Amino acid sequence: MDTAKKLMQDLRHAGHADVKNQKIEALLVLFQEQPQLISEKFYYQSNYMTALHAFILKEASLGTIKRLCSLAPNLPQLLGTRSEEIKDRRRGECPLNAACSAAPREDLIVFLAEKHPKTLTRKGFNGESAIESVMKSGDISQETRRKLLKLSPTTGFDMILNMVLRDTLFPTDFVDLIIDRKKTWSVEIESHLCADKARIVCTKLIPRLRVLDLHTDWESNQTFLDVTNGIQKANKVVEIRHFTLASLRGMGEDEQQETIQAFQAALEGNTKLTSVSLQFALDSSLEVKIAWCTAILSSLSTMAALRNFSIESRSSIYAWRETKPDFLEGSTDGCLKLVEKHLNLTTLSPWEGNDRRIRYYSNLNRYGRSKARNATASQMAAILTSFELFGRFSYMVCCEDDEALSIVYGLLRETPGSWSRGEILPPSLSDWSPNRKKRRKLGLCESMALVSYFTKHNEPPY
């Protein structure tokens, strides 16, 4: 062990090529006699690292590194061993990371990756994985990149996928290699989509996904329609994020209607969607925003599984503030009609924060309006107590919490047949008093008094 430490320090200080080769050869002889030392970590350049790390940093030949690897009792363990920074032992990198961060040699990188493909996705000192470093490097050929993409086992390729989609230097088949992963279920695309690459995304990527985060600009309206068609055919997507709507600028009226109807069909055709987040294009006019919104709100009424819907503008926050009041004025009525009838929508942004009526219905849905409709007395009591609404009743009355009271009243309105029988609350239901100490039971008389309080209202208390 002491001999190995001394040889590692000598190798560290070796400047001349002959001296370096002499120390490397001496280490190989030692490792042949004591192969258990190959996976040991030694002090080297302010880090603890294996001899393989040191050989790579000293730019040993590929043949020399192959000799060292052939002596290792457990090669995957050696290739997966991370160096450790002295100041922070949690920081380190695998030999493959070292090979990519130094002057990259394609033959060495391919050799290490073939022997242990999982190390391609492990992060090094710079926070990048080996595959990310290879894709960013200007010294690596496309053929080598293609080979490493085939070897890499993981699905965590959002950054690489966006790089390939954005840069025209990367061949189209790279998109195939990246998205051809069995476990791909969520991806975030932030790049400008050209027609060819968008076609691959539609036919091969979207059908695999459960979550599609498509924060992108459209090369043409046809590209938008292609992706929209892909969403319509996807039977696994349950969440769409940051989807940018076409600006419709420069289109005739018929083409605008065709584009809007295509997106409506995509939403209505996917019955599993639970969350949709949309964005207006940068150059969308107020008229286009209202047209999009009116059409989409009418489609949402048919999507029973939908829980969350939001729409915003990609323009600056100041520009959006200027047009937002006009946009809300032109679309609030349609949103209110939607949330009145839709029993599951719990989030409607930006309307929910600007209109008390919409917030009232979204709160009802959040607290279980779909379950409360035509529920039995025992079911209704379970719904209310599960959200601690009646547990807060004494507190709500004392503090005049009108909004909370209106939610309870709104849920009670869903089962009017139970009111006359006083069955909303069973006699055994415990109530929480404002002092948090005294607990008492809410009996039949108090249940009827509570119902009488709510029956004074003929309309929802906005």
- Work out the burial of residue 435: count CB atoms within 10 Å of its CB; fewer than 13 is exposed, 13-18 middle, 19 or more buried: exposed
- Say what the pLDDT of residue 111 is: 92
3-state helix, strand, coil in the chain (%, to 5): 55, 10, 35
| Residue 155, SS3 per DSSP | coil
- Say what the pLDDT of residue 316 is: 67
CATH code that applies to domain 155-366: 3.80.10.10
* Alpha-helix residue ranges (DSSP H) falling in 58-94: 62-71, 75-80
Tokens of 143: 């053929």
Residue 275 has pLDDT above 90, yes or no: yes
What pTM was estimated for this model as a whole?
0.69
Please state which of the ranges 52-66, 185-199, 377-391 shows the lowest mean pLDDT.
Answer: 377-391
Q: What is the mean pLDDT of residues 42-67?
A: 84
The total number of residues shown for the chain amounts to 462
* pLDDT (tens digit per residue) in 128-142: 888 888 888 878 888
Residue 59 has pLDDT above 80, yes or no: yes
pLDDT, greater one: 193 or 393: 193
Residue 422 has pLDDT above 50, yes or no: no
Q: What is the mean pLDDT of residues 16-34?
A: 82
Q: What is the mean pLDDT of residues 339-366?
A: 87
CA distances (Å), origin 273, targets 101, 117, 344, 371: 43, 36, 12, 20
**Integer Cα distance of 309 and 349 in angstroms:** 7
Cα distance between the two ends of the chain: 79
Using 50, 70 and 90 to split pLDDT, how confident is the model at 448?
very low
- Say what the pLDDT of residue 424 is: 45
Please state which of the ranges 62-66, 81-85, 190-194, 337-341 shows the lowest mean pLDDT.
Answer: 190-194
Average pLDDT, the chain: 77
Using 50, 70 and 90 to split pLDDT, how confident is the model at 156?
low
User: Minimal CA–CA distance to 266: which of 240, 291, 247?
Assistant: 240
Using 50, 70 and 90 to split pLDDT, how confident is the model at 173?
confident
CATH code that applies to domain 1-152: 1.25.40.20
| Residue 239, SS3 per DSSP | strand
Using 50, 70 and 90 to split pLDDT, how confident is the model at 278?
very high
- Say what the pLDDT of residue 60 is: 86
- Work out the burial of residue 141: count CB atoms within 10 Å of its CB; fewer than 13 is exposed, 13-18 middle, 19 or more buried: exposed
Tell me the percentage of the chain whose pLDDT exceeds 90.
Answer: 7
- Say what the pLDDT of residue 402 is: 60
Residue 237 has pLDDT above 70, yes or no: yes
Residue 150 has pLDDT above 60, yes or no: yes
Q: What DSSP string describes 264-324? A: HHHHHH-TT--EEEEEE-TT--HHHHHHHHHHHHHHHTT-TT--EEEEEESS-HHHHHHHH
Spans of all domains in the chain = 1-152, 155-366, 369-455
- Say what the pLDDT of residue 260 is: 92
Q: What is the mean pLDDT of residues 415-428?
A: 48
Residue 314 has pLDDT above 50, yes or no: yes
pLDDT, greater one: 317 or 251: 251
* Alpha-helix residue ranges (DSSP H) falling in 219-281: 221-233, 253-269
Using 50, 70 and 90 to split pLDDT, how confident is the model at 377?
low
- Say what the pLDDT of residue 418 is: 53
- Say what the pLDDT of residue 89 is: 64
